[in-house]
Each structure stands twice: as structure tokens, then as C-alpha cells.
């Protein structure tokens, strides 16, 4: 009989295991997202992890649908994919209830996705996102709302304006730039948009050479000069007049006025921002970390008015964004904004002299008061029981021995401060709940600061 080979304890490449300490961070981020968007009237929804592959090939582009999806043929000979994004799914859902929804429809989900791409810092094959969308409103108001929501989410984590910037462009202005200003045909324009989208991932020399290739030998000298003007523009006032006075540019200017009125102070115009997905039709934006050690795009979004129409319904104006878990976590780490997160278990009971019956009874009484408790049932020495509670980041421990059982007064220890005191059952409950309220108030203060 062939012996079984040892299985690897490592997760599948590009995915993460979430041990309790990691899950605490994940839940902190998820809970903060949920609080912000629900304050603004967004309702939570869910969608299947599997969709027909054609849902993604229809509009997301060949790179995503053809190269990055986990696709397979199911037992009914249907070609399906594990969702690589949520936008087509929520568009399908809105199309299915087009006449029944109240508009504007503000919807959000927190879900996981999979893309087969090269894992790197901040980019995984399985990833989690907040997807927030507003359906049913044209014009710049919903765009300003979503961008304002992005800024509010960042500040809910304790971020200040100097820690991040919001870069904004508009696909109508991009199309005008490609066609009217740069003189590119549709194929060249698409190639140039893709090149701009990769601009920060390649060297300036490679960017220049690829751009010259797209223009062709005859047009590249003038074209490269025009691109240099675009790249140098730090605001809309720096754009050439033919771009600055276009209808698309006026849309962007109106959006900036709304953002200023809403108190969003760190939004800037970026003529090189493209966003690669093909379905964007208006405003596009990205939130960037300003920390030199983590100088990257954190998340983005924009207007996509056409996707609902792919599912047999009338097209509907839509704006959305999708903050990611891992990039948010990296941002919080780089700016030292992650709070100290403890176990959801509030009390660990250390058992002395085989007093299990009394310890279990105490635990049950505490649970009836809403306190989260665990009892050490190992029979280990005192030191090992204490170490286990501390390792688990449980905030309090109670010692239960014969003296405690007879007196009803227990040694109560704060594992964060090492402070010890003797307390009655009622005072223990009060202490735990007081700490809970203090923690909630601290989070509330950060959230609304």
C-alpha cells in the first residue's frame, strides 16, 4: 500500500487564510464600510458566486473575461465563471426588477471574488470588496455622492486629507481627447487608453515608445508633444483650450463644484486617469495613498450607464465604486491607523483545584447576561491557562477556585493592563459591559471625527 503524501498546509496561491487575528481586522474594515454606506441610505444585497461567462465577456473586456476568470463547464454543459467582479451581477439584478425598485436605488454588498492574475502586494487571486452603486440618476449629483462617500469611508478609518487624494477624469473627455485632440481612430484610441491605464506600471521610455508606435512614424512627433502637455496638466486650467472648453470638460468642472460644496478638499483632476474596464461612460475616479511607502491606487469607480441595458431592460444611469479589503488594510498599516483589536471572547475563566462545575455554572450565568465567556477545560497548570488567555487576546480573565466558589468573590484580571481586583458577579458583569461601551464610544469617535 502506497503511503499518503503529506499535504501542504499553505493556502492556494494568491489566497489568504484568515486566522482570528486576521479576521478581526477584516471584520473591523467590513463593519466600518457598512456603517458609512448605511448612514447614506444604501441597502445590502447578495448575489451568486457563479454567473454565466457571457455576463463578463459582454462588457468587461477580453483581459478580464478571457484571461482572468476562473471558468469551467458545469454538469449541465453551461459555461460559468466564479465572479471576478460584482458590477455585471448587480446590473442583472436591477434589470430583473427594473419596474419594482424605488429610485434612486442605493445598493451595496461586501463579497469575495476571484481573478486568475499574478499575485503581488495588494493584489490577490481571491479578494474582498465593498461594492456600492446608485441607480437611476443622470448628471453629476450621484457622481459627487459616490466620490463623497469614498472620502467619508477613508475618514471613518481616521484618515486625514493629506493621507489620500482622489483623482478624477471623465470618459467623455477621454474620448474627445483621443479623437479630436490626438486625432486617433477608434482602434488607436482604444490602444492608447489601455497604454495610459498602464502608465504607472511601465517605465517612461516604454510608455513613450508604445505611444509612438500607436501614432505611427508620421504622426508621433506631434502626438508625443500633445501627450506631454496632457501629462504635465495639474488641473483643468492647464489643458489646451480645445479640451478645456469642451462639453465634457464642463461636466467635470460642475462635478468639482459639487465636491467643493460637499467639503471634499482633496479631489484633483488627472487627465491621464483612464480606468481599464470598457463599461465606464462618464466620470471615473481613483483614491490614491499619498504615503511614499504605499504610493498606489487604493480603489476606484465611476459612471457606467449601459450595463443594465445588456439584460433586456432600458439603460439606466449608474455610478459605483469598489473599495478593496487588502488595499484598505495596507493603507491603515502604512498610516498606523489600525486599532488594537481584541478577541470577541470577553472573559477567559481559569480553573483552579478542579472546580469545573462551579466554573461552568459561572460561565453560564455570565452568558445569560450577554457576556462572551470561555472556560479552560484542559486541567493544565495555572501558568499555561493564563498564557492561553493572553495569547488569544481575551481582555479579561477570572480565577475560579474553592475560596472563590465559597465566597462568591472572584479574582478578576485585565490582561491589557495586568490590573487585578476582587469582584462580585454583578461587578464583573458591569466591568465587562463598561469596557464594551468604552470601545464602542472610541470607534464612534473615530467614525465621526
pLDDT at 440: 62
Could you list the residue range(s) of the whole structural domain that residue 374 is in?
347-448
Quick one: CA torsion of 199, 202, 204, 210, rounded to 10 degrees? -80
pLDDT at 275: 79
Does 387 lie in the same domain as 432? yes
CATH number at residue 230: 3.30.930.10
Q: What share of the chain is helix, strand, coil (3-state, %, to 5)?
A: 45, 20, 35
Helices 20-39/141-156 angle, 10° precision: 140
Does 184 lie in the same domain as 279? yes
Does 335 lie in the same domain as 208? no
Contact between residue 414 and residue 425 where contact means Cβ atoms under 8 Å apart: no
Contact between residue 284 and residue 269 where contact means Cβ atoms under 8 Å apart: no
Q: Is 90 helix (H, G, I), strand (E, B) or coil?
A: helix
Does 92 lie in the same domain as 165? no
The Cα 213–Cα 206 span in angstroms is 11
Residue 8: inside a domain, yes or no?
no
CATH number at residue 410: 3.40.50.800
pLDDT at 3: 60
Contact between residue 374 and residue 343 where contact means Cβ atoms under 8 Å apart: no
40: which residues sit within 8 A by CB, 6+ positions away? 106, 145, 149
The Cα 284–Cα 248 span in angstroms is 13
Contact between residue 323 and residue 301 where contact means Cβ atoms under 8 Å apart: no
Does 318 lie in the same domain as 283? no
Alpha carbon distance, N-terminus to C-terminus of the chain: 66
Contact between residue 303 and residue 145 where contact means Cβ atoms under 8 Å apart: no
Residue 1: inside a domain, yes or no?
no
The Cα 402–Cα 385 span in angstroms is 17
Backbone angles phi, psi at 39, to 5 degrees: -60, -30
The Cα 29–Cα 130 span in angstroms is 10
Instruction: State the average pLDDT for the chain.
Output: 92
Task: Give pLDDT < 70 ranges for the chain.
Answer: 1-4, 59-64, 276-277, 439-449
CA-CA-CA-CA torsion sign (175, 177, 178, 181): positive
pLDDT at 27: 97
Residue 310: inside a domain, yes or no?
yes
The vertex-340 CA angle with 334 and 343, nearest 5°, equals 135
Does 218 lie in the same domain as 203? yes
Does 183 lie in the same domain as 123? no
Does 167 lie in the same domain as 272? yes
Does 82 lie in the same domain as 157? no
Does 274 lie in the same domain as 199? yes
The vertex-164 CA angle with 163 and 168, nearest 5°, equals 160
Contact between residue 269 and residue 168 where contact means Cβ atoms under 8 Å apart: yes
Does 233 lie in the same domain as 214? yes
Choose the final residue of a domain: 298, 327, 360. Answer: 298
Domains: count for the chain: 3
pLDDT at 442: 53
Q: Is 349 helix (H, G, I), strand (E, B) or coil?
A: strand
350: which residues sit within 8 A by CB, 6+ positions away? 376, 382, 385, 386, 389, 397, 398, 399, 400
pLDDT at 135: 97
Q: Residue 121 has what DSSP assignment?
A: T
Does 165 lie in the same domain as 47? no
Amino acid at each position: 500500500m502506497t503511503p499518503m503524501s503529506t499535504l501542504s498546509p499553505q493556502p492556494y496561491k494568491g489566497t489568504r487564510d484568515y486566522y482570528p487575528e486576521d479576521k478581526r481586522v477584516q471584520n473591523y474594515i467590513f463593519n466600518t464600510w457598512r456603517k458609512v454606506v448605511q448612514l447614506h441610505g444604501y441597502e445590502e444585497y447578495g448575489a451568486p458566486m457563479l454567473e454565466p461567462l457571457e455576463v463578463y465577456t459582454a462588457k468587461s473586456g477580453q483581459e478580464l473575461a478571457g484571461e482572468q476568470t476562473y471558468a469551467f463547464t458545469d454538469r449541465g454543459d453551461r459555461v460559468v465563471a466564479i465572479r471576478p467582479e460584482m458590477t455585471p451581477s448587480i446590473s442583472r439584478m436591477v434589470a430583473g426588477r427594473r419596474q419594482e425598485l424605488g429610485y434612486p436605488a442605493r445598493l451595496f454588498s461586501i463579497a469575495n471574488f476571484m481573478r486568475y492574475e499574478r499575485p503581488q502586494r495588494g493584489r490577490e487571486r481571491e479578494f474582498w470588496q465593498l461594492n456600492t452603486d446608485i441607480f437611476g440618476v443622470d448628471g453629476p449629483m450621484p457622481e459627487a455622492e459616490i466620490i463623497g462617500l469614498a472620502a467619508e469611508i477613508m475618514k471613518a478609518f481616521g484618515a486625514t486629507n493629506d493621507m489620500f487624494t482622489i483623482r478624477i477624469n471623465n470618459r467623455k473627455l477621454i474620448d474627445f481627447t483621443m479623437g479630436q485632440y490626438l486625432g486617433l481612430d477608434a482602434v488607436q484610441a482604444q490602444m492608447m487608453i489601455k497604454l495610459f491605464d498602464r502608465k504607472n506600471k511601465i517605465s517612461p521610455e516604454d510608455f513613450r515608445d508604445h505611444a509612438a508606435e500607436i501614432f505611427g512614424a508620421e504622426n508621433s512627433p506631434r502626438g508625443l508633444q500633445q501627450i506631454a502637455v496632457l501629462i504635465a496638466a495639474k488641473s483643468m486650467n492647464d489643458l489646451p483650450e480645445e479640451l478645456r472648453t469642451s462639453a465634457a470638460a464642463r461636466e467635470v468642472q460642475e462635478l468639482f463644484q459639487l465636491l467643493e460644496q460637499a467639503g471634499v478638499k482633496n479631489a484633483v483632476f488627472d487627465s491621464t486617469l483612464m480606468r481599464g474596464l470598457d463599461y465606464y461612460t462618464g466620470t471615473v475616479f481613483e483614491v490614491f495613498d499619498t504615503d511614499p511607502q504605499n504610493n498606489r491606487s487604493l480603489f476606484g469607480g465611476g459612471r457606467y450607464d449601459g450595463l443594465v441595458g445588456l439584460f433586456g431592460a432600458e439603460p439606466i444611469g449608474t455610478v459605483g465604486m469598489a473599495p478593496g479589503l487588502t488595499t484598505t488594510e495596507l493603507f491603515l498599516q502604512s498610516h498606523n491607523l489600525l486599532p488594537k483589536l481584541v478577541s470577541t471572547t470577553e472573559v477567559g475563566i481559569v480553573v483552579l483545584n478542579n472546580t469545573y462545575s462551579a466554573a461552568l455554572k459561572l460561565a453560564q450565568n455570565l452568558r445569560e447576561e450577554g457576556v462572551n465567556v470561555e472556560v479552560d477545560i484542559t486541567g493544565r497548570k495555572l501558568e499555561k491557562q493564563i498564557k492561553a488567555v493572553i495569547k488569544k487576546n481575551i481582555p479579561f480573565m477570572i480565577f475560579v477556585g474553592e475560596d472563590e466558589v465559597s465566597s462568591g468573590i472572584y479574582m478578576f484580571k485585565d490582561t491589557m493592563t495586568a490590573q487585578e481586583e476582587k469582584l462580585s458577579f454583578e461587578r464583573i458583569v458591569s466591568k465587562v459591559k463598561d469596557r464594551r461601551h468604552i470601545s464602542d464610544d472610541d470607534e464612534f469617535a473615530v467614525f465621526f471625527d
